[in-house]
Structure formats: C-alpha cells, structure tokens
Chains A and B, each alone.
Chain A
Amino acid sequence: MAQISATEQKGMQQIDLTTLNIQQLSTLKQQLDQELNLFQDSLASLKIAQSKFQNSGETLERVTPESEGKDILVPLTGSMYVPGKLHDTDKVIIDVGTRYYVEKDIETAKDYFQRKIKFVTEQMEKVQYLGLEKSKIRDAIVEIVEMKLTQQQQQHQS
C-alpha cells in the first residue's frame, strides 16, 4: 500500500525509479502518457487561440478613421445580410471571455491583442518545455522496465 501511493506523488518527492517494481512503473508510464496527450491537446488549442488573436489584431490595422461612413454588409444570419454604414470607427468592442465585452479604442485594442498573443505564446513555450521534460522521464521509465524484464529473465534461467 505504502509503496503504491508513492507512485502518485510524482514530482513531489524524489523517487529512485529503479526501486519501483514493473507494475508501478507501468502505472507511472500510463500517467505520463496521459499527461503527454493532454499537452498535445493544449498545444493545439493554444495554436488556434493564437491565430484567432493574430487575425483580430491584423483586422484592426484596416479599421482607420478614414473608414468612417463607408458601406458594409452586416450579417444578420449566416446567409442574410443588410447594408450598413461604418460609424464610430475609433472604437471596437472586444470579447474578453465569460460573455463580457469591453469597449476599447483602436490603440488599446491593438495593445490588447498584442498582449494576448504574447500570453498565449508564453503558455505554449511552457507547455512545450513541460512536455519535453515529461517525455524524458517517460523514456527513462521505458528503459528501466526493459532492464528489469531482462533481469527477470536471467533470474528465471539460472
């Protein structure tokens, strides 16, 4: 019992991997595989978020005071549009999450997207680093399991 619970505390305390038995090691490997999958998924979502922010930021470049009064088509539904005129082109409303929207002028809006892109990129770097570390540990576990298996075989033969 005490031995098994030690596998749950990965990262919390130093454990010599060679002292664990094969069952514990495979549980640990399973956990790491799950975590690695999660990292892959997070990375993919982060990439999507990053490109969305980039897209919005680039769109802002085209919203200038000169676009005041220009004609646009406003989508009412996915397939129906009504004509309209651009108005108040120095302000935009941004979705900041959890259904809240905030009015910002163009400069602060640009700043907002820049910050978001930076934030997301930082998170991606963090996740990538963590993933690398975890896959290193995973490789080590695989190696030790193989070592133990050959050891066992030798013991059976002798």
Chain B
Amino acid sequence: MSDDIQKKLQTELDSFKNVQKELQKAIQTRQQLDGQLNENEIVKQELDLLPSDGKVYKSVGPVLIKTELVEAKQNVSKRIDYITKEIKRIDDVITSLEKKQDTHRGSAPEITGPVSAGPS
C-alpha cells in the first residue's frame, strides 16, 4: 500500500519536474524573442528617421553590403511580424504549461494527503 503511494508520488514528481523544465525553456525562448522584438523595433525607428536617400548597409559576415532603405525597412517589418507571431505562440505554450504545473502541484498533496496530515 505504502509502496503504491510512493510509486505514484515518484511518477507525479517526475512529471512535475518535467513540466517545470519545459516551462523554464519556454520562458527563456520568450525572453529571447522579446529582446529580438525590441531590437528590431529600435532599428525600425532608426530607419524611419533617415532621409529617403539615406545610406544603409547590412553586415554579412565581415563585410558591409549596401542595401536600399526601402528594402531594409520591409525586412525589419517582416521580422517584427514574424517575432510577434512567435511570441503569441510561445505565450500559449507558457499558459498551458503553467496550468499543467498547477495541476501537478495540486495532485501531489492528494496522494500524500493522509501521510502529511500528521503533526509537524
């Protein structure tokens, strides 16, 4: 009987830890995306400030390649769109993982309930 409880608790704990790990990873990705979004938005602001004949270069490895301002703007806007979508996606993942985590947190005391209810 107590073996049974222990086993249950162990699997419960394992899956809880797994969820926690996944959540951590998702949050990290989310932060990274946030940073990228910020950077892109700042670049966009900067490009918008330029006169229409402003010279823009893109670094490809060690060299700078001249780019059209319009093209650069389009590129940055496209990237912002993409990152925003990615953030939405990862946000959903985070919410569902958080829900999972809470369920696991709630079910652990259910298993140990009668044991841990004793005086501390």
Contacts and interface: CB of A to CB of B under 8 A. Distances in A.
Interface of A: 1, 4-5, 8, 93, 95-103, 112, 156
B56 A101 contact: yes
A100 B72 CA distance: 8
Contact of A99 (B50, B54, B58): B58
A156 B119 CA distance: 9
Given A103-B54, A103-B57, A156-B119, A98 B39 contact: yes
Contacts of B39: 97-98
B87 interface: no
Interface residues of B, number: 26
A20 to B, nearest CB: 14
B59 to A, nearest CB: 5
B72 to A, nearest CB: 6
Contact of B40 (A5, A98, A103): A98
Nearest to A112: B46
Nearest to B103: A1
Given A96-B42, A100-B47, A1 B106 contact: yes
A112 B64 CA distance: 20
B108 to A, nearest CB: 11
Interface in B20-71: 39-40, 42-43, 46-47, 50, 54-60, 64, 67
B60 to A, nearest CB: 8
B59 A96 contact: no
Given A96-B43, A102-B50, A156-B119, A4 B57 contact: no
B81 to A, nearest CB: 14
A50 to B, nearest CB: 15
A101 B57 contact: yes
A93 B57 contact: yes
B8 interface: no
A112 B43 CA distance: 12
B102 A4 contact: yes
B47 A102 contact: yes
Contacts of B98: 8
B79 interface: yes
A112 B42 CA distance: 12
A88 to B, nearest CB: 12
B100 to A, nearest CB: 12
B43 A93 contact: no
A100 B119 contact: no
